[in-house]
Amino acid sequence: MNVLSNEVREQTTDAPESKEVKSYAAARRRRTILVNVLRVLFIVVIIGGWELGTRVGFIDPFFWGQPSGILNQLVIWVTQGTAQGPLWEQIATTLEETLLGFGIGVVLGIIFGVLLGTNRFLADILGPYIKALNAIPRVVLGPLFIIALGLDMPSKVALAVVMVFFIVFFNAFQGVREVDRNLLANARILGASQRQLTTQVILPSALTWIIASLHTSFSFALVGAVVGEFLGSTRGIGLLTQTAMSTFNSNGVFASMVILAVVALLMEALVTALEHRLLHWRPNTVSDVTI
């Protein structure tokens, strides 16, 4: 049956191992070690200099904090809990708000992005309003949500949703508009219905754009949740920061910042994993700059 296979065979050539390859690998290993050593050195110099500066009186620890004080604060929070309850409860609250806001915002953004991207008429009608809404700095909606939805979780989730929605929306919209016309024509010829076109051609090809927006929108969801907590709440890392601020506890502000950074980095890793899972068909993903 196999009549056509000339081109296929030449694909599997194995490169011979050579000394050149090995010395190249060794050079790369040396470079990796050097980079890691310098990385550690860099942070030691920064934090050490800061600590030293506060010890010799060059930096005032009351205003600018002190690494040892921050560490101390973190240890107290972990071991004895915070003024508003155990630390894990604060982290869990903020995380829940962020994830809920992120999830809802992403889903709404994709739905509206695809809807308006595939329907030019609707896009023409709603276009100016969406642009206007997007122009508003969305954190100003925070006070409104606090008034309308109260001090509990819903107001923070709502703020996170509006932060995320627009980013995902614009990416999904653009992604839908950029779908390769050849792919659409091919799918139609192969027998795709309108619904199959949307779910099996337009969505997958817009996914590259949507996924690229997830990194940014996750940090915006976190901003929404934390700002919401600043404005008025009973729990959360934002409240922790706010309390530390109002008691002039600069170490406390830094300590909650450290917690936020750790949370954000962990979630970022999750988004990256999701990205690799969904975009495994791509030769190399160009969605984000990695350092």
Shortest gap between Cβ of 11 and other proteins (angstroms)? Answer: 8
Of 71 and 184, nearer to other proteins (C-beta) is 184
C-alpha torsion angle, residues 122, 124, 125, 129 (rounded to 10)? 110
**Closest among 226, 266, 252 to 74, alpha carbons compared:** 252
Of 14 and 20, nearer to other proteins (C-beta) is 14
Of 15 and 40, nearer to other proteins (C-beta) is 15
Residue with tokens 């940090």: 219
Shortest gap between Cβ of 14 and other proteins (angstroms)? Answer: 17
Alpha-carbon distance of 189 to 137, in angstroms, equals 45
Shortest gap between Cβ of 287 and other proteins (angstroms)? Answer: 15
How many angstroms separate the Cα of 92 from the Cα of each of 49, 67, 232, 239? 34, 25, 17, 13
Which tokens in the block code for residue 102?
Answer: 């992120």
Shortest gap between Cβ of 285 and other proteins (angstroms)? Answer: 12
Of 60 and 178, nearer to other proteins (C-beta) is 178
Of 177 and 282, nearer to other proteins (C-beta) is 282
CB 51 within 8 A of CB 67: yes
User: Is 85 in a helix, a strand, or coil?
Assistant: strand
By the criterion CB under 8 A, which residues form the site for other proteins? Answer: 1-8, 11, 180, 182-183, 185-193, 196, 200-201, 204-205, 207, 281-283
Of 47 and 192, nearer to other proteins (C-beta) is 192
Alpha-carbon distance of 283 to 272, in angstroms, equals 16
Of 3 and 56, nearer to other proteins (C-beta) is 3
C-alpha torsion angle, residues 108, 111, 115, 117 (rounded to 10)? 90
CB 220 within 8 A of CB 34: no
How many angstroms separate the Cα of 123 from the Cα of each of 1, 12, 120, 261, 287? 52, 49, 5, 38, 26
CA end-to-end distance (rounded Å), the chain: 51
